[in-house]
Structure 1
């Protein structure tokens, strides 16, 4: 057989195999396929075995209308039809029996080889996926370890700083109380309004000094002493800017400091007014 004729028949065989892989055929279609194969396998035509594997790979790809199950089922059905005719000594498909048996064996062999190849490929993909997961976990563990080491290295310094500031707070508070007591004991001849103003002023200074030290402790330890708001850094306004002014933001985020200072300032103002107006509601010595 000439080479051109062999290539033409091989192309027709490929087209016929693609047709068999596109749907599950009925008996009429199977008989039509058998007749076409009988026409192809004449004049000592032999199919090209090396072209089957690329064809099987293409049929198995996602996104097309082909199925290896259809191909295998239809091919076995045609083979059974031809074999039945051959065993009954019918002359219609006598010459097709042996070539079709070889074709079926070769196709099934390539399907099996592709299945084995696909399983190995899937195993390789699974191993690569596990390898990536392990690498990610290793990087995360390394990062966590580095952060833990940094935290441990700075923990001693933070503890010393916090304890020092708390000691300063205690000393400042106790010293202020002692100073206030000594000052009041020496102010027996001073008017009650002057004494009250002095006490309020000392309370104002001590309260804000203690708050300042607590703020420093919060900065060192990375903890916030602010009350909750819509955003952590007051970026709830347009373009990330604060929606509140300074005093309003202070009242929302530090209400205890704000209201204590407001009360102390109001009391000092009232005390000054009473002192200046010489108003004595309690009949105390002026």
Structure 2
């Protein structure tokens, strides 16, 4: 065989030793040593550059294992040295030296590839951790923005409600002596309904910005898990009912006043 064929035969030999079902034992030890003698005959020297391709191929194949290759190569090397010392199988010192270099080169490439994979795994773990931290910071920043909007919204709601209430209250108090109690009550209820719904609209907007539903307003609605809208509708219905009652009382007062004027001749 020429050098190229021997290099190819050595690579196939290493791939065979890396198989999961390959075990170097006393039964097949002689066959493996004779194969190495044939490969390294005629002063053949393996190429160190060819080891990287073989180890990479072994690492990418699920049926092959680098640790298996290391163990089998070590057994072969130790057996060749023992055979040399015992004078068996015509094992020479030259074969021991070449197998020692093969054993050293294989271990060196396996260590280098394993170290490279370890570094890559560390970098991947760091990148994943950094990505998780960036995601967490982004979520915190988004939540902080929502909190700021919520605080500003609540403050705006309070200011608007307070200012509107003060304006309407001042207007009512300034003209309290110019209207009847029924008209004054009607306007007060109407203003209360307007301010109440305005405040609820602002709070509903804040809740939508935060993507959270409004909390229930009472213990009863909390136990029954009723939505906030039913409570708001109930309060509006109550205020509307009060307005109807006020109109009814005003109509009754107007009817009595008209009947009294007719009876007295005014």
The TM-score bracket by the shorter chain reads 0.5 to 0.7
Decide whether the 8 Å contact of 1:21 with 1:67 is kept in 2.
Answer: yes
Residue 199 of structure 2 aligns with which residue?
A: 217
Matches within 5 A, 1:104-123: 104-123=103-122
**How far apart are residue 212 of structure 1 and its match?**
1.4
* TM-score, normalised by the number of residues in structure 2: 0.67
Cα separation, 2, equivalents of 1:212 and 1:114: 75
Residue 196 of structure 1 aligns with which residue?
A: none
Residue 261 of structure 1 aligns with which residue?
A: 240
Give unmatched runs, 5+ long, in structure 1. 185-198, 229-248, 277-284
* TM-score, normalised by the number of residues in structure 1: 0.63
Check if 1:47 corresponds to 2:26.
no
Residue-by-residue CA offset, 1:30-58 (whole Å, 9 max, x unaligned): 44332322221111111111011122223
Q: 2:78 aligns with which of 77, 80, 86?
A: 80
Matches within 5 A, 1:1-286: 5-23=2-20, 24-27=22-25, 28-61=27-60, 64-94=62-92, 96-133=95-132, 135-136=134-135, 160-168=159-167, 170-171=169-170, 175=173, 178=176, 183-184=180-181, 199=182, 203-220=185-202, 222-223=205-206, 254-262=233-241, 264-265=243-244
Decide whether the 8 Å contact of 1:31 with 1:78 is kept in 2.
Answer: no
Residue 245 of structure 1 aligns with which residue?
A: none
Give unmatched runs, 5+ long, in structure 2. 208-212, 217-227, 256-262
Q: Aligned pairs, how many?
A: 238
Cα separation, 1, equivalents of 2:82 and 2:18: 23
Decide whether the 8 Å contact of 2:77 with 2:100 is kept in 1.
Answer: yes
C-alpha spacing 1:250/1:82, structure 2 compared with 1 (3 Å): closer
Cα separation, 2, equivalents of 1:142 and 1:88: 76
| TM-align CA RMSD | 4.4
